A and B are shown apart, each in its own frame.
Chain A
Amino acid sequence: MSKMHLLDAGIRKKWGSSSPHFCWFKSSFSEKTTWYNYCNNHVIKNCQFPPVKVPGEQKAMIFVGGVISLDFPREQLKAFYRTMYTIRSFEERCNELFLAGKIPGFVHLYIGEEAIATGVCATLRKDDFITSTHRGHGHTIAKGADLKKMAAEIFGKSTGYCRGKGGSMHIADFSIGMLGANGVVGGGYNLAVGAALAAKMRKTGQVAVCFFGDGASNRGTFHEAMNMAAAFKLPAIFVCENNQYASTTPYRTTTSVENIADRAVGYGVPGIVVDGNDVFAVYEAAKAAVERARAGGGPSLIEAKTYRIKGHFVGDPELYRSREEVRERFETDDPLKNFRKQVLAANQLTKGELEEIEEQVQEELNAAIAFAEESPFPEPEELFQDLYVEGWGEACGK
């Protein structure tokens, strides 16, 4: 059972000394894939999703991936890397461009959290829905958005997704089910519930994923949405990106539980804790939740543990944490590094293949940013455009 001990140690290292919860993982070392469900050193083999619960256990399951990369076809691995690397590079560019004074407003970067959007969105259909947050670039890219239109929007240009009306915090692409980033923390839950309700009513088989932060988990809307989704058995998946901070506040100082996913118990839905810096683990957890939702099993709550590498927004003086803390986290647990290490060690992709992807992405980004820079700003006449469908906004405003 040395593997169990390894897992146990890993959990403690990453997620503190809380008593071992459920651990649910997939092993592909042998020919056949086996699902394990693990609690206090008891292992239940071949379990179903949601895993069997030990009576009396009141906590979320911890889901550990790690070894499962061996299962994936090379194209999928490449797609993972392409998405994660695109997000990382897009955000790095945003950082530079913001500091150069080229981007108005606020920008919240997703650096360090790429594996979550990537792993989750890889399990979704094009017509599935997502709702996003102020830190939404990663979700948008992972759902398949056009980088040119994204960049243009962030620049406030008329060629942007929202014709310059939204900016970084309000990008949406309804053609791919991306129902919008939201400037209101906790504003997305109920929209996802509604989209899931629509999917259920129309029997389309679509699901709705709501991304939200650890800080957002303390909004009252969390409760209303979780309960309604669970009571109506809606195809919704709630994905908490626990990046340890809500702006300047460490989540443990404002949140009563170690694992936000533990709250799932109160709604009678599966709660899953997953390593948010491991794209394979995220993918597997999301896949199970999505399959369950599509099959009519109702919602799940996934908590992906991660860490915000950059400030809350670009320009954040970060007085609430030490540089050493950030450096240590980034050096030891960077989702892109983790991925590269795994696939290279397993000889699944070559260094050359990774570099080729990187070059392609950089070129695409150059084109996207050039497009944004060259695009015109909206004309004054566009001020009232798209307020009302009938278009009498101007008459109202004057």
Chain B
Amino acid sequence: MREITFAEATMEAMAEEMERDERVFIMGEDIARQGGIFGQFKGLPQKFGFERVIDTPISETAIVGACVGAALAGMRPVADMHFVDFITVAMDEVVNQMAKIRYMFGGQCTVPVVLRAPDGAARSAAAQHSQCLESWFVHVPGLKVVIPSNPADAKGLLKSAIRSDDPVLYFEHKDLFRMKGPVPEGEFLVPIGKAKVVREGTDVTIVSYSATLHKALKAAEALAHEGIQAEVIDLRSIVPLDKETLFASVKKTGYLVIAHESTKNGGVGSEVAAVVAEEIIEYLDGPIKRVGAKFVPIPFSPALEPLMLPQVEDIIAAVKESL
């Protein structure tokens, strides 16, 4: 299969969906003329025009709110949030409007909006350009939350997100944009709500997603040298959570470690741990371990930044503590 980058895969998904459905358009800051900070929109306006690839004012509430309004008026908008950190500026639009409108109005409408949010620490971007905020949205009924870890899923999940009649938050890690991998050409959909076992094992389940998944895989490899066979699950969707895949694995291995880059406290790991503890605790043979960022804003200095982020060694240590 031909290999393309994560950024190219998202672009292919955008282009295919815009081709397929003229109601699809994208807006955001610096996406049309510049092509996006990570080059993820390069060439799109040349194909679809500046009317469908829209450079907006620096107005996050208007970007998200207008996407919701346009969706109510029959469009299928996609917004680029520039950096996930700025979604904070539009929380009313995300949480009170986008997420609730369908339910609150008794199902009279659908809200097919996708918010694309580049996240994650990369190259000392410091406290306001480095966060992973996906956990916040686990708490909001009405949203779907997806978070790919590789180019193929990036394409397949973005296409599914655009076709979803419910609003979707699509998180894309900045460190992944240049990652290359095999991506099917043409129609390729990854269903929302389906996790994937990316490495089979029998001794412990490591649940992860996004860029941290690759650290989990490295940890699993290292553990294999010590005779510990870890099963690694890529969640891919956080809402809805694929409990079936998760439970099947935990039932098999009896041990659970969850690793992600967002803050450990109150993170997705806490939710996964709680669900497992609540529903299938009898299958657990050891304590659940969570690996996440430390409870501190992300520091600038290259000497400090790595200290607060979860590393391969942290995942290995967590597995060993659990077993």
Q: Is the CB of B141 within 8 A of A228?
A: no
Q: Is the CB of B62 within 8 A of A201?
A: no
User: A387-B102, A390-B166 are known contacts. Are A227 and B57 too (CB-CB below 8 A)?
Assistant: yes
CA distance A170 to B100 in the complex (A): 11
Q: Verify if B107 is at the interface (C-beta below 8 Å from A).
A: yes
Q: Verify if A173 is at the interface (C-beta below 8 Å from B).
A: yes
- Shortest Cβ distance from B23 into chain A, in angstroms? 8
Q: Which of A159-204 contact B (CB under 8 A)?
A: 160-166, 170, 172-175, 179-180, 182-184, 187, 189-199, 201-202
CA distance A290 to B80 in the complex (A): 31
Q: Verify if B201 is at the interface (C-beta below 8 Å from A).
A: no
- Shortest Cβ distance from B89 into chain A, in angstroms? 9
Q: Is the CB of A198 within 8 A of B56?
A: no
Q: Is the CB of B108 within 8 A of A189?
A: no
Interface string of B98-109 (1 = CB under 8 A from A): 000111111111
CA distance A308 to B166 in the complex (A): 38
Q: Is the CB of A190 within 8 A of B66?
A: yes
Q: Verify if B68 is at the interface (C-beta below 8 Å from A).
A: yes
CA distance A387 to B67 in the complex (A): 19
Pick the contact of A170 from B57, B68, B104, B142 — CB < 8 Å? Answer: B104
Collect the chain B residues with CB atoms within 8 Å of residue A318's CB.
none
CA distance A172 to B106 in the complex (A): 9
Collect the chain B residues with CB atoms within 8 Å of residue A208's CB.
69, 73
Q: Is the CB of A393 within 8 A of B61?
A: no
- Shortest Cβ distance from A97 into chain B, in angstroms? 21
Q: Verify if A25 is at the interface (C-beta below 8 Å from B).
A: no
Q: Is the CB of A197 within 8 A of B108?
A: no
Q: Is the CB of B106 within 8 A of A224?
A: no
Q: Is the CB of B66 within 8 A of A228?
A: yes
CA distance A396 to B192 in the complex (A): 13
User: A389-B165, A389-B166, A397-B141 are known contacts. Are A231 and B65 too (CB-CB below 8 A)?
Assistant: no
Q: Verify if A388 is at the interface (C-beta below 8 Å from B).
A: yes
The residue in A161, A162, A190, A392 that gathers the most chain B C-beta atoms within 10 A of its C-beta is A190
Interface size on A (CB < 8 Å)?
A: 53
Collect the chain A residues with CB atoms within 8 Å of residue B25's CB.
201
CA distance A198 to B65 in the complex (A): 13
Pick the contact of A165 from B51, B92, B105 — CB < 8 Å? Answer: B105
User: A190-B93, A202-B74 are known contacts. Are A166 and B105 too (CB-CB below 8 A)?
Assistant: yes
| Chain B interface residue number, banded | 35 or more
Q: Is the CB of B62 within 8 A of A174?
A: no
Closest to A392 in B: B240
Q: Verify if A225 is at the interface (C-beta below 8 Å from B).
A: yes
Q: Is the CB of B61 within 8 A of A221?
A: yes
Closest to B72 in A: A179
Interface string of A330-367 (1 = CB under 8 A from B): 00000000000000000000000000000000000000
Q: Is the CB of A198 within 8 A of B106?
A: no
Q: Verify if A73 is at the interface (C-beta below 8 Å from B).
A: no
Q: Is the CB of B59 within 8 A of A228?
A: yes
Collect the chain B residues with CB atoms within 8 Å of residue A220's CB.
61
Closest to A194 in B: B69
Collect the chain A residues with CB atoms within 8 Å of residue B51's CB.
201
Q: Verify if A40 is at the interface (C-beta below 8 Å from B).
A: no
CA distance A166 to B71 in the complex (A): 20
Closest to A396 in B: B240
Q: Verify if A258 is at the interface (C-beta below 8 Å from B).
A: no
CA distance A61 to B182 in the complex (A): 62
Collect the chain A residues with CB atoms within 8 Å of residue B165's CB.
389
Q: Verify if A255 is at the interface (C-beta below 8 Å from B).
A: no
Collect the chain B residues with CB atoms within 8 Å of residue A110's CB.
none
CA distance A162 to B67 in the complex (A): 22
Q: Verify if B110 is at the interface (C-beta below 8 Å from A).
A: yes
Q: Is the CB of A194 within 8 A of B67?
A: yes
Q: Verify if B77 is at the interface (C-beta below 8 Å from A).
A: yes
Interface string of A368-398 (1 = CB under 8 A from B): 0000000000000000011111101101110
- Shortest Cβ distance from B29 into chain A, in angstroms? 12
Q: Which of B99-148 contact A (CB under 8 A)?
A: 101-110, 141-142, 144
Which chain A residues have a beta carbon within 8 Å of chain B's beta carbons? 129, 131, 160-166, 170, 172-175, 179-180, 182-184, 187, 189-199, 201-202, 206, 208, 220-221, 224-225, 227-228, 231, 385-390, 392-393, 395-397
Which chain B residues have a beta carbon within 8 Å of chain A's beta carbons? 25, 51-52, 56-57, 59-62, 64-75, 77, 92-93, 96-97, 101-110, 141-142, 144, 164-166, 193, 239-241
A-B contacts besides A179-B72, A189-B65, 10 pairs, CB < 8 Å: A164-B106, A165-B104, A165-B105, A190-B61, A191-B72, A193-B62, A225-B61, A386-B103, A390-B166, A395-B240
Provide 7 A-B residue pairs closer than 8 Å at the C-beta atoms, listed in order of the A residue.
Answer: A162-B106, A170-B104, A182-B97, A191-B66, A201-B75, A221-B61, A387-B141
Those 10 A-B pairs whose CB atoms lie nearest each other, nearest first: A190-B65, A194-B69, A386-B107, A162-B106, A194-B66, A198-B73, A191-B69, A224-B59, A163-B106, A224-B62
